[in-house]
Structure 1
């Protein structure tokens, strides 16, 4: 059975030089259709960074992500609009509400 999501050697860091922090270092995993996955770890370990890359909101420094056999990972977010529209469901941790709209209209 083909994987629903595959992550290969994903790497990402923040900062530069002596202040650079490597958050993701060679992350590899596969998720099969119907599989339930929990991403757990302490604060600051890279969970949100990993999800932002998988969700097409952040480009990785290196590595690949495959969603339904579509390869991405290092592509900028603006190049992945169609992927986010058709394939990736995203519920933000923060509200991201538009203040000029009602609660119902924001949904």
Structure 2
């Protein structure tokens, strides 16, 4: 779980940074708003991941699940940042987090 969560946060941060540098022309307010939203949910995910790593229990696991689902949904709403991903891929990723059983932590 730790390895998957750590990899997801690294990927999310890298994708935001790369896409931002490619679109840093400032011509679309919606892209800037989308980027700010992605940055906020990425930071929330990172905080939840750190809390889970420091104290693995059902509460921090559920917090990480919510943050991961929020992050996936934010990317799904900002298609310019993950153009190669389909809605089905986002739905599958979110469903896998939703199916995770935190009661065993």
TM-score by length of 1: 0.33
Q: Structure with the greater relative contact order (CA < 8 A, sep ≥ 6): 1 or 2?
A: 2
**TM-score for the superposition, normalised by structure 2:** 0.34
> Larger Rg: 1 or 2?
1
More helix by share: 2
